[in-house]
Chain A
Amino acid sequence: MKRFSFSTLMLWVGLLFIYLPMVILVIYSFNGSKLVTVWGGWSVKWYAGLLDNSQLMGAVMRSIEIALYTAVAAVALGTLAAFVLTRIPRFKGRTLFGGLVTAPLVMPEVITGLSLLLLFVAMAQIIGWPAERGVLTIWIAHTTFCSAYVAVVVSSRLRELDMSIEEAAMDLGAKPWKVFFLITIPMIAPSLAAGGMMSFALSLDDLVLASFVSGPGSTTLPMEVFSAVRMGVKPEINAVASLVLLSVSLFTFFAWYFSRRAEERRKRAIQQAMAEEAVSWQQKAA
């Protein structure tokens, strides 16, 4: 095989295309000049200015709060959905269920946002709940579409899992819920973590759904950024954007690193156990 094939070249060009704009953004956030396109030396004044912007900081805290709730709920809901899809082969409405799980992945956000808002308005009229729109309604909207992502990630892991371990536990008399919590959950833990982080990031990032279902006084970070960005490029926004990029990248990197280490440790433990077993059998045979 050729060392530098066309596809490898495209891969590098593509990665450059993906990362260059972000690198430029981060570099320009340290620009001393107020004009975003003119380089005026290195400076951190835009970062320092962020801390004084209490409206922005409020939005950041609100976004993080919603993202945390979303991550927890989406993992729970998405895992249940993935379990149903991979472990229960036949039940009434399975096709509909499968559709409901995967459709949020592709549904345009303006449609989901509008329809959820109309639902909340109708529910408020009929049963008086939710009385006002805010963190709770944004959380519901985010959980709904994030759980689809979790379901896809977790079900691909559940499918490649060795079911004989679950079967063995069941043969030894463990109750299904016990098998699920003691065997299945630990084995799919890395993908649960991945799904959770994905939901956190997706929720932190969402503008359209939040704009539709939020109420007065509950602006999230993307909404703040969006209303500022509409007016053009601003140095303060460069700083916020860089911070978001940095935190998400670090988060992703560590998550990847730790899940890989855990996986390696698990593999080594299995190998060791098998080696020990082999030795003890040899001794018995001798």
Chain B
Amino acid sequence: MSKRTLKRLLPRGRHFVIGVPFFWLFLFFMLPFFIVLKISFAEADVAIPPYTEIWSWVDNQISLVLNLGNYLLLTEDDLYVSAYLGSLKMAAISTLLCLLIGYPMAYAIARADKEMQTVYVLLIMMPTWTAILIRVYAWMGILSTNGLLNGFLMQLGLISEPLQILNTNVAVYIGIVYSYLPFMVLPLFANLVKHDLTLLEAAADLGCRNISAFWKITVPLSKNGIVAGSMLVFIPAVGEFVIPELLGGPETLMIGKVLWQEFFNNRDWPVASALAVIMLAILMVPIIWFNRNQAKELEGKV
């Protein structure tokens, strides 16, 4: 494949082909962040829309009023700080759990024969296409105090009184791991399946034991898959709303839930915007890391 043919592929339509998706993504994905940034400096107001304008034009003077109050509020109030820390902790632990469960699964699929591979991949992929809301809801019935899990454990005689699992952090962990597990397994599988098995054979021939060959060859080679999977779990989990709302309790402080409450219950759009800006700032590094990694994958330079 030569560069010349690539150039010939799109002589005139080129601008159109690049322009359409670029314009769409710029308008509906990138531009909105700047508006969020702008409104995070506004003040809440009883109006439609419920915030003040930061620009004003008085006496031939443009004045720009940046209200830092929202940001100060976020640093002063413990609620917000602990919600950020809580989200990061929840997401980090869930990511680790997903990796611990997902890696062996992806490994097993990658080593299965071709015919079974497609079936396994389909089985893992299918839940990601079915409503996350419904899958979280299914756990509500299982985990509640008079739910199936408690009934089962009591029948076995392991516990005498029902455990309070629903509306605790444990339930949130279960929910996040359950919902995001496929997003860990699929990129890991895509990576592991490409590995050259002769490397492992060579290691075995040279007297390397299976387990140390796994740690010395397979794990380092699957670094890109681990990064992609972990980021696909960690970043959305930090902002997760549905799972803490339905499975979590009063002790569950997560930033997605706080943002939702500020926006829908308190109708404080500027504070919600400031929350989003800080969340995005925290997630910037992982997002860029993911994008770099993904760009390499997309270009096939693995």
Question: Which residues in A have some Cβ–Cβ distance to B below 8 Å?
Answer: 1, 5-8, 10-11, 14-15, 17-19, 21-22, 24-25, 28, 36-37, 77-78, 80-81, 83-89, 91, 93, 95, 97-112, 114-116, 118-119, 121-122, 125, 140-141, 143-144, 147, 152, 155-156, 159, 163-164, 166-167, 170, 176-177, 179, 197-198, 201-202, 204-205, 207-208, 211-212, 222, 225-226, 229-230, 232-233, 237-238, 241, 244-245, 248-249, 252-253, 256, 260
Please, how many angstroms separate the alpha-carbon atoms of A167 and B9 in the complex? 8
B26 and A100: CB pair below 8 A?
yes
Please, how many angstroms separate the alpha-carbon atoms of A95 and B240 in the complex? 28
Q: Pick the contact of B134 from A144, A179, A225 — CB < 8 Å?
A: A225
Determine how close the nearest CB of chain B comes to the CB of A269; give it in whole angstroms.
20
Please, how many angstroms separate the alpha-carbon atoms of A11 and B182 in the complex? 12
B241 and A11: CB pair below 8 A?
no
Determine how close the nearest CB of chain B comes to the CB of A95; give it in whole angstroms.
8
| B window 195-249: CB within 8 A of A | 231-232, 235-236, 238-242, 245-246
Report whether over half of chain A's contact residues are helix, strand or loop; otherwise say mixed.
Answer: helix
Residues of B within 8 A of A225 (CB): 131, 133-134, 137
A10 and B101: CB pair below 8 A?
yes
6 contacts between A and B (CB under 8 A): A7-B111, A24-B138, A24-B142, A110-B241, A147-B24, A167-B5
Interface-facing stretch out of B56-64, B74-82, B153-161, B286-294: B286-294
B131 and A14: CB pair below 8 A?
no
B29 and A249: CB pair below 8 A?
no
Highest count of chain B CB atoms <10 Å: which of A95, A163, A208? A208
Residues of A within 8 A of B290 (CB): 102, 105-106
A111 and B279: CB pair below 8 A?
yes
B140 and A22: CB pair below 8 A?
no
Determine how close the nearest CB of chain B comes to the CB of A157; give it in whole angstroms.
12
B131 and A7: CB pair below 8 A?
no
Residues of B within 8 A of A7 (CB): 104-105, 107-108, 111
Determine how close the nearest CB of chain B comes to the CB of A78; give it in whole angstroms.
8
Determine how close the nearest CB of chain A comes to the CB of B175; give it in whole angstroms.
10
Please, how many angstroms separate the alpha-carbon atoms of A215 and B19 in the complex? 30
Residues of B within 8 A of A109 (CB): 236, 239, 241
Query: Does B55 reach chain A (CB closer than 8 Å)?
Result: no
A201 and B291: CB pair below 8 A?
no
Of chain B, the residue at the smallest CB distance from A243 is B134
Please, how many angstroms separate the alpha-carbon atoms of A5 and B147 in the complex? 34
B10 and A14: CB pair below 8 A?
no
Residues of A within 8 A of B88 (CB): none
4 closest A-B pairs by beta carbon, nearest first, are: A108-B239, A115-B32, A10-B104, A201-B129
- Known contacts A116-B28, A230-B246; is A106 also within 8 Å of B232 by CB? yes
